[in-house]
Structure 1
Amino acid sequence: MAILDIVIAPDPVLKTVCEPVKEVNDEIRELLKNMLETMYKAPGIGLAACQVGVTKRVIVVDVSDDKEENQPYCMVNPEITWESDEYSVYQEGCLSLPEQYADVERPAAIKLRYLDETGKQIELEADGLLATCIQHEIDHLDGVLFVDHISKLKRGMIMKKLKKVVAAKAAG
């Protein structure tokens, strides 16, 4: 397993619509393992493949409170099949937008289907933080960042801060 480099906005790979995975094979399983290790080390609760520079429809999520016993979801080609009419608001952050947070409103509950690391199709109902996190990560697969859900003014302020962070690291 390996810790992968996390792509920081405004890198254009984060605005890329990711390609469906044709087959869950050893390469995809290795990617999932590396993404989990990267997410836990960051630390974060979700990570999409494009955030590590891979434009495949792959995400990992773990919102468990007990970090002694992780409860990860590894999702290949996740697809939301239903979302509730009720909405909830969570303060979201993102490993690709370090130290930036904003309140985002999303459907409170969802149903989705995806392939697990063995290639088996899974159907899942999620609500609360898990539903929010999954929606956030699936957005990444469609080239959408959480800041795309907030006002243009707030988004502009956050992106300006991130450009300074990236420039400072480059000058390093």
Structure 2
Amino acid sequence: MRNRPIPGSSGLVKAMSLLGDPQLHAPCEPVTDFSPALKQLVEDMFATMYAAQGVGLAANQVGVPLRVFVYDCPDDEDVRHLGHIVNPRLVEADGVAVRGPEGCLSLPGLEAGTERFDHAVVEGVTVDGEPVRVAGTGFFARCLQHECDHLEGLVYTDRLTGWRRARVLRAARRAKWG
């Protein structure tokens, strides 16, 4: 029997900010107001992430410049990780650096080989202000690093160089949404 509602079940799907939107390229502000509006934002973010079939979503991707992200992401062993982090800090990113395919809901349909560490730890708080520490490996570590980057005003294409960067940015310009 389930005690808690499914994340996003009471949320509204929000419009997605796309590559080039200035909010995606500006650092987000720390959350200071832990009112019911924050819980609703997290619900809306889950609803939006699920509607877009993503595994993570940062608040600035839905036009809210606050340090919050949600995730529902498997690791390389197919273990599901589900949650949210308010005011996250990437406190560890180490291990082997792996170049793997990475996409983003703000660049729908595009991906590029992006280098990330295979281990990451993020600390922050919940919507209730309770401390939280989340550790991930493999694909989930990639997700944690990706979402923390968003809150710093970075998109994964900012980590690319050379032909990988040129190719994905050219594809973005040609995309229907570009």
Q: What TM-score bracket applies, with the shorter chain setting the length?
A: 0.7 to 0.9
Could you say which residue in structure 2 is the equivalent of 1:11?
21
The correspondence for 2:47, drawn from 34, 37, 48, is 37
In the alignment, is residue 83 of structure 1 matched against residue 88 of structure 2? no
Instruction: Tell me by how many angstroms 1:169 deviates.
Output: 5.3
Question: Structure 1 stretches of 5 or more lacking a match?
Answer: none
Instruction: Tell me by how many angstroms 1:42 deviates.
Output: 0.5
> How do residues 140-159 of structure 1 correspond to structure 2 at under 5 angstroms?
140-159=150-169
**Is the contact between residue 10 and residue 159 of structure 1 (CA under 8 Å) also seen in structure 2?**
no
CA distance in 2, matches of 1:26, 1:118: 9
Counting aligned pairs with the same residue, the percent is 32
Instruction: Tell me by how many angstroms 1:101 deviates.
Output: 0.7
Could you say which residue in structure 1 is the equivalent of 2:6?
none
Could you say which residue in structure 2 is the equivalent of 1:46?
56
The correspondence for 2:146, drawn from 106, 120, 136, is 136
1:97 partner amino acid: L
Could you say which residue in structure 1 is the equivalent of 2:37?
27
CA distance in 1, matches of 2:37, 2:153: 23
- Residue by residue over 1:101-140, the C-alpha shift from the partner in whole angstroms, topping out at 9 and shown as x without a partner, is 1111111112221111221011222111111101001100
CA distance in 2, matches of 1:152, 1:26: 45
Question: Structure 2 stretches of 5 or more lacking a match?
Answer: 1-10
CA distance in 1, matches of 2:92, 2:30: 20
The correspondence for 2:105, drawn from 66, 89, 95, is 95
**Is the contact between residue 23 and residue 119 of structure 1 (CA under 8 Å) also seen in structure 2?**
no
* TM-score (ref. length: structure 1): 0.87
Deviation larger for 79-88 or 44-53:
79-88
CA RMSD across the alignment: 1.9
2:173 partner amino acid: K
Q: Number of residue pairs matched?
A: 164
In the alignment, is residue 162 of structure 1 matched against residue 178 of structure 2? no
Structure having the higher helix fraction is 1
* TM-score (ref. length: structure 2): 0.84
In the alignment, is residue 120 of structure 1 matched against residue 118 of structure 2? no
Instruction: Tell me by how many angstroms 1:24 deviates.
Output: 2.3
Once superposed, which parts of structure 1, at least 4 consecutive aligned residues long, lie more than 6 Å away? none
**Is the contact between residue 10 and residue 163 of structure 1 (CA under 8 Å) also seen in structure 2?**
no
